[in-house]
Amino acid sequence: MNHSSSAAGLAGVVAGETALSTVGKAGQGLTYRGYSIEDLAEYATFEEVAWLLLRGELPTSRQLTEYGQRLQSLRTLPAALTDILERLPAASHPMDVLRTGCSVLGCLEPEDDGRSGLEVADRLLAVFPSMLAYWHHFHTSGQRIETASDDISIAGHFLHLLHGSPASETHRRAMDVSLILYAEHEYNASTFAARVAASTLSDFYSAITAAIGTLRGPLHGGANEAAFDLIDRFESADAAERGVLDMLDRKVKIMGFGHRVYRTCDPRSVIIQRWARRLSVEAADTRLYTVSERIDAMMKREKNLFPNLDFYSASAYHFLGIPTRYFTPLFVFARTAGWAAHVLEQRANNRLIRPGADYIGPESKTFVPLHQR
């Protein structure tokens, strides 16, 4: 049977249209609704980017102020949700906590109860950091924290809840830039899962829950955790070189390098690397960043591979005092903006997503009744 018409993993297959972002297109790099990721990371806030993705244009100063206040007002967790978070095992994967929290919120505040898709999107953007921080503190110290804060930004809010005190401006901005970089990335696996769910006319929460479950995998969102585990195991740059060469000899996959779409570089990596370097200097770190740079240089030399966003994000998050197992949930905080925008876009011009498949099983067989087998 000839399977030349199929592509493993749908690589190179155009599955739809979007006005939300360009990824790896010649001469364009990464853009959100036409704006370059470089400009957005330099001049915008994550809340501006979320507004842009969800509403199509950059907000005015007044709109941004009102939007920040709106998101700030949506951070509180319902009592029924905090009860569920307390009942989840302390050993739960944090991505499972967010997936469950999203699903529970869909029961408590259903979309078909007069809420628009945009309203659900804003609520999820505001509440995911509160969910994770509440679960974290309850299961590490038995503390039932208040999930409101004076921080106007989602980045500052999460760092404040996590550490119990306001973040420095450098830390807050580093987190804000990271959220911008992770906010949207065309038809990646989790976004496609969200669009597939939306195409069935399912509810908003179901689409986002599907996306979270997809992002959980180490070949997608979990790569930043694996990248930090790699970096942190080496005591020096020289040790990293010896160790990674051994891993390459043994054909072990080095997480955080290469990309399914980008061919020469990940434009987001350049930006987060600058922040990782800045944070390492502030932390007087002489190990993690130098190890990261050496591994980066080695992978270029040995495999001609470039770091993707996950690689330098790993050390940046560590310098922000974030536990490694929370790296992928941070991805959720950011990508909820992109997922939600894709759900809205899918709904606006919907057609059920139902691809075909080449059959590779046995030819026709004659059924044998049970008593004759």
Least Cα distance to 321 among 161, 181, 159 occurs for 159
Contact (Cβ atoms closer than 8 angstroms) between residue 344 and residue 199: no
Three-state SS string over 95-112 comes to HHHHHHHHHHHHHHCCHH
Please compute Rg for the chain using Cα positions.
22
Phi, psi of 296 (to 5 degrees): -55, -50
Burial 218-235 (b: 16+ CB within 10 A, else e): eebbbbbbbbbebbeebe
Polymer length of the chain: 373
CA–CA gap between residue 133 and residue 161 (Å, rounded):
6
| Helix (H), strand (E), coil (C) string for 158-218 | HHHHHHCCCCCHHHHHHHHHHHHHHCCCCCCHHHHHHHHHHHCCCCHHHHHHHHHHHHCCC
Among candidate residues 151, 203, 266, 310, the one labeled active-site is 310
Residue in the block written with tokens 């941004």: 64
Cβ of 243: how many Cβ atoms within 10 Å?
Answer: 17
**Active-site pick, 259, 266, 296, 342:** 259
179 and 166 in contact (C-beta within 8 Å)?
Answer: no
Assess whether 259 carries a catalytic annotation. yes
Of the residues 93, 96, 220, 232, only one is catalytic, namely 220
Q: Do the beta carbons of residue 301 and residue 309 sit within 8 Å?
A: no
Helix (H, G, I), strand (E, B) or coil at 61: helix
171 in catalytic set: no
Residue 38, classified by CB atoms within 10 Å of its CB into exposed (0-12), middle (13-18) or buried (19+), is middle
* Amino acid type, 1: M
Active site residue 220: yes
How far apart are alpha carbons 343 and 203 in whole angstroms? 10
- Catalytic positions: 220, 259, 310
